[in-house]
Structure 1
Amino acid sequence: MIPMKRYITLAAFSLTTVCFISCSESFLEVDPRATQIESNYYRNPEEAFNGLVAAYDPMGWEGKGGYGNFVSFVAGSDEAYSGGGSSSDLWYLQTMNDYRLLDPANGPQLDFWSKGFTGVSRVNTLLNVLNEKEIEGLDDAVKARYIAEAKVLRAYYYFDLIRIFGNIPLITAPLSTNEFYEVTQVSPAEVYAQIETDLKEAIAEANLPDKVPAATEGGRITKGIAAALLGKVMVYEEKWGEAADYLSMVNGTPGGTSTYGYKLLDNFSDIFRPDNLFHSESILEITHTSSAASGWGNTSRVEGFIASTMFGPRSYSGPTYDFGWGGCPITPELITLLHNDPRYGTTVNDVDSLVDLGLATYVPGYLNTGYFVKKFAPLQEFKNTGAGPATINYPQNYIEIRLADTYLMEAEALVEAGENLSRAAALLNAVRHRVGLAPVDATLENIHMERRKELATEGHRWHDLVRTGQAATVLQSKGFVAGKNERLPIPLEELTNTKLVQNPQY
């Protein structure tokens, strides 16, 4: 744990320190143990690899203490309410459920800022070393792969930061302490240009593999991940033709197996099984583990999947599930929308039906509807029984980009570009066919609706509403203000003694 309030300063801090990583079961199951002075580090290939793993590590952070993860955007959308024990419990969700409560001092924004800029700073340190320092014994091909991976990671962190905050600094090299205080924000176009450059250079790198063996390198960056991320970035930039081109590289023939090995799973519910990791539909999968035995004293760097506990019913007693914090009870609107959809049973945990049958009890929380998120529910079968509290050590991974998502993004891009509408229809209907639904025309309305149903409660809906300009209308009842709430506020701590400027209306 690094005890610093301004997390962008890690860009300066990492110039003199680097995390020393001990890997456990898979590539991304990491446990930072100590720090080393950079001048005494990166002495050999093992230490270069440790630096790479340190650059990956923030991807899996579940928050700084407020647990600002994708769950915040579920609560901030029309999919769910905040929940919790009361209107003051799970405050990071309350501020997203009622935008009138969201301000620079209150909200999940510091968690996202910390995660993003810590990742950027670690990448910048690693790239600086790999480009400037001769590491004895480090093979040139391996070094080239590390550089490509680092560039994709920097693009990933900056894409999150630009979507969430809009107005951010662009830092591509380690900073001195004095330089930090002179940092200013740049235009979103400059950030997107850097993201594109990093991803295109990584895709062009011959030593970045198309895919990796899941058993030993699951979650590690590949060309498939880079292409999927670049296609998604271009969707947000509304570069429709280019977006479709990159996404088609990922998707291949609709319903078939792509060049990168991606294929829709036959069974929708298998996507989210904690024991079905790095399957053929998973593109960008964030690893979580119980083996790190995270404790309450280091909640800012938890390696387990806290989202499972956040979604569980309060004081639950009954079959299948474990108790949780009662976060994100699903809205009646989404229940009605999904009720006759084949994906309902995988998406919705109807706890009240178990209560009505006398099979379970729970304590209804704030804004309770009786319906909870099932895709990431805390399952008794996977509850941690080893070291560390079970609450913050669920082993389920989070799939941030999966094939059905990229199918629907490519379909949207093709329709927006007015190109190859037959392929757009094939992509859309491959997603529907998987769950036994009849084909429909490839219209924007149908594609957006399919995204809403297919990806429900996975953290995409809020971003989709913002990028398509629907957020102010759809989220009006939550106090969403147009021209303001499309972005989170810059954290209050980041404004003191710096040249950073707050986002409009905050």
Structure 2
Amino acid sequence: MKAIKYFILFLILGGLLSSCEDELDVFPRDQLTPETVTSDDIELLTRGVYAAWRDPISFFYLSFLTEDLSGDNLVYRATFFQHGEVDNNAILTNNVLTMRYYNGPYTIIQNANDVINLLNDAEGIQEDIRNRYLGEVKMLRAYAYYRLVTLFGGVPIIETRDPDFQIVPRNSEAEVWQYIIDDLVFAVEHGPDFRNSTLASKYSAKALLARVYLIRGNNTEAKRLSEEVIASSNFALSDDYDNIWFKANNDREHIFYINHTSTDGTNFKGFFLRHSSMPGSGRSELPVDLSLVEAYEEGDVRKDASVLFVPDAFEDPRHLWFSRKFRDPGDGSAPFIVARIAEMYLISAEASYKISNNSTDIDALARINAVREKRGLQPHETIDIHKIIHERRVELAFEGTRWTDMKRTPSQSDPSKSMAQVYVESKGRTINDLLYPIPSQAMEVNPELEQNPGY
């Protein structure tokens, strides 16, 4: 039975590699079993996990933009009313986009589980090689669970491809976060060294773990890990912010990104964000929120690199600014950056400030000002949480962090509530709307699921 299972796995994941940038030779095999699997087989199967990230239909389909749309960085203009539900923070349980945001990560999780289980069963692979691949794949799995928990809260933790795997209850939100942490801790210890930004490494695991610890309130570990990534000679703040988006393969800002290519052409983000007059064309589905445009300080080089004003694009004056960060020439090849070194500086700054609770904390000011000076701005003399979150907003716009940042940060107008709660309440929504609904289709398939409150 195992031989059949792994043979099918080999065929399925091997077939995904037709879209990879680097071709791999695939030799016919009669069967793939724990007794016969080699490191070459594992390399091929691991590439299959990467390939699943680039599937626009079964995977995220613009989910990386949904945090910016739920928050205050993007607005809905036309065509897909499901985007309007996200923008209005009034998502229906049958929203086809959020269904993809829920189902898609499980494609990666299932493929990753198959590779992990095969590695654990494999008999002829050296332990250090086994652990290196386990670390790489666990980092990819952890990021899939991260996408789920930040949008939906607690979700089922799945570790097999059992036919009945879907008929399981939700784990708690805390359990999912701990599962992510466990995977990332393993990846930090055993994962591969940095090779290039298209591949997961112990540094990408450190970067994601630093973010997770910051979200979960473990500021000491968030600072330690972010500082370890900063200390690496592999990465550096870019001298040209615009270059980050033109030359993703060459800029040292990048720790890890999903490597969409012109061959697979599946990154639709730029096409949906750009105006038709912009390079690569576009359908201007999701213009930039004017509050983000106004958030850039005078002299901030990030503004021209991130947003573009198109006069008379539409009659509505709210729909005249568009994102520039996804610079593919219309072929869907722009990468999506999962982790950048600038975020590590801002994580270290926030963690340092929270540890000391001191507005003149030397470490916090040094890290946030290093970013500001690279972006053409004067340094801060004092620091607080809202200056840091503001810096994250303009630095990381359209990079999939805004909604989570708003949910975890106290509002200036009402510190007893988060920025996100105040934001949704201004639209007549409630705190329940901070989480997306579990899709009705998923609940039909899995009667063990319980819906989030308020839906």
Fold shared by both chains (TM-score > 0.5): yes
Alignment of 1:210-359 (within 5 A): 210-212=193-195, 214=196, 218-251=197-230, 258-273=231-246, 275-292=247-264, 303-313=265-275, 316-317=276-277, 321-338=279-296, 340-342=298-300, 343-352=302-311
Say if 2:101 is the partner of 1:151: no
Q: Secondary structure at the match of 1:500?
A: coil
TM-score normalised by L of structure 2: 0.87
- Superposed CA offset, 1:96-127 (max 9, x none): 11223x11101522112222111111111111
- Superposed CA offset, 1:252-275 (max 9, x none): xxxxxx3251100101111111x3
Partners of 1:31 and 1:75 lie apart in 2 by 41
Q: 1:169 to 1:189 in 2, by over 3 A?
A: same
Q: 1:377 to 1:148 in 2, by over 3 A?
A: closer
Q: Secondary structure at the match of 1:485?
A: helix
Q: What is the CA distance between 1:239 and its match in structure 2?
A: 1.0
Say if 2:162 is the partner of 1:176: yes
Name the counterpart of 2:434. 486
Partners of 1:31 and 1:416 lie apart in 2 by 51
Name the counterpart of 1:472. 421
Name the counterpart of 1:376. 326
Q: 1:132 to 1:65 in 2, by over 3 A?
A: closer
Partners of 1:112 and 1:36 lie apart in 2 by 36
Aligned partners of 1:99 and 1:479 also within 8 Å:
no
Partners of 2:336 and 2:319 lie apart in 1 by 25
Q: 1:94 to 1:197 in 2, by over 3 A?
A: same
Q: Secondary structure at the match of 2:66?
A: helix
Aligned partners of 2:82 and 2:97 also within 8 Å:
yes
Q: Secondary structure at the match of 1:180?
A: coil
Name the counterpart of 2:334. 396
Say if 2:100 is the partner of 1:99: no
Partners of 2:19 and 2:55 lie apart in 1 by 17
Partners of 1:99 and 1:276 lie apart in 2 by 32
Q: 1:49 to 1:478 in 2, by over 3 A?
A: farther
Amino acid at match of 2:407: V
Alignment of 1:106-145 (within 5 A): 106-135=95-124, 138-145=125-132
Q: What is the CA distance between 1:478 and its match in structure 2?
A: 4.4
Q: Secondary structure at the match of 1:104?
A: coil
Of 345, 348, 358, 1:407 maps to: 345
Aligned partners of 1:272 and 1:376 also within 8 Å:
yes
Identity %: 26
Amino acid at match of 2:17: S
Of 40, 44, 50, 1:50 maps to: 44
Aligned partners of 1:83 and 1:365 also within 8 Å:
no
Greater fraction helix: 2
Alignment of 1:455-466 (within 5 A): 455-466=396-407
Aligned partners of 1:98 and 1:479 also within 8 Å:
no
Of 193, 205, 218, 2:178 maps to: 193
Amino acid at match of 1:52: T
Amino acid at match of 1:49: E
Q: 1:366 to 1:176 in 2, by over 3 A?
A: farther
Partners of 1:116 and 1:42 lie apart in 2 by 30
Partners of 1:450 and 1:14 lie apart in 2 by 47
- Superposed CA offset, 1:283-333 (max 9, x none): 1211101113xxxxxxxxxx52100100122xx34xx52331212212222
Amino acid at match of 1:209: P
Aligned partners of 2:109 and 2:144 also within 8 Å:
yes
Alignment of 1:398-437 (within 5 A): 398-418=336-356, 421-437=361-377
Amino acid at match of 2:451: Q
Partners of 1:458 and 1:90 lie apart in 2 by 21
Q: Secondary structure at the match of 2:242?
A: helix
Name the counterpart of 1:386. none
Q: 1:165 to 1:429 in 2, by over 3 A?
A: same
Aligned residues: 434
Partners of 1:333 and 1:68 lie apart in 2 by 22
Q: 1:276 to 1:193 in 2, by over 3 A?
A: closer
Alignment of 1:67-78 (within 5 A): 67-78=61-72
Q: Secondary structure at the match of 2:441?
A: helix
Name the counterpart of 1:359. none
Q: 1:493 to 1:266 in 2, by over 3 A?
A: same
Partners of 1:451 and 1:321 lie apart in 2 by 27
Partners of 2:156 and 2:89 lie apart in 1 by 25
Amino acid at match of 1:118: T
Amino acid at match of 2:348: E
Partners of 1:481 and 1:91 lie apart in 2 by 21
Aligned partners of 2:61 and 2:101 also within 8 Å:
no
Name the counterpart of 2:415. none
Q: What is the CA distance between 1:95 and its match in structure 2?
A: 1.4
Partners of 2:206 and 2:199 lie apart in 1 by 14
Partners of 2:372 and 2:69 lie apart in 1 by 26
Amino acid at match of 1:241: T
Q: What is the CA distance between 1:480 and its match in structure 2?
A: 4.0
Q: Secondary structure at the match of 1:427?
A: helix
Aligned partners of 1:83 and 1:367 also within 8 Å:
no
Q: 1:241 to 1:36 in 2, by over 3 A?
A: farther
Amino acid at match of 1:371: W
Aligned partners of 1:97 and 1:478 also within 8 Å:
no
Aligned partners of 1:76 and 1:97 also within 8 Å:
yes
Q: Secondary structure at the match of 1:376?
A: coil
Name the counterpart of 1:10. none
- Provide structure 1 residue ranges, at least 5 long, that are not aligned to the other structure: 1-12, 252-257, 293-302, 356-361, 384-392
Q: What is the CA distance between 1:175 and its match in structure 2?
A: 4.1
Q: Secondary structure at the match of 1:159?
A: helix
Aligned partners of 1:14 and 1:122 also within 8 Å:
no
Partners of 1:15 and 1:417 lie apart in 2 by 51
Aligned partners of 1:311 and 1:327 also within 8 Å:
yes
Partners of 1:288 and 1:148 lie apart in 2 by 22
Partners of 2:184 and 2:282 lie apart in 1 by 38
Aligned partners of 2:59 and 2:101 also within 8 Å:
no
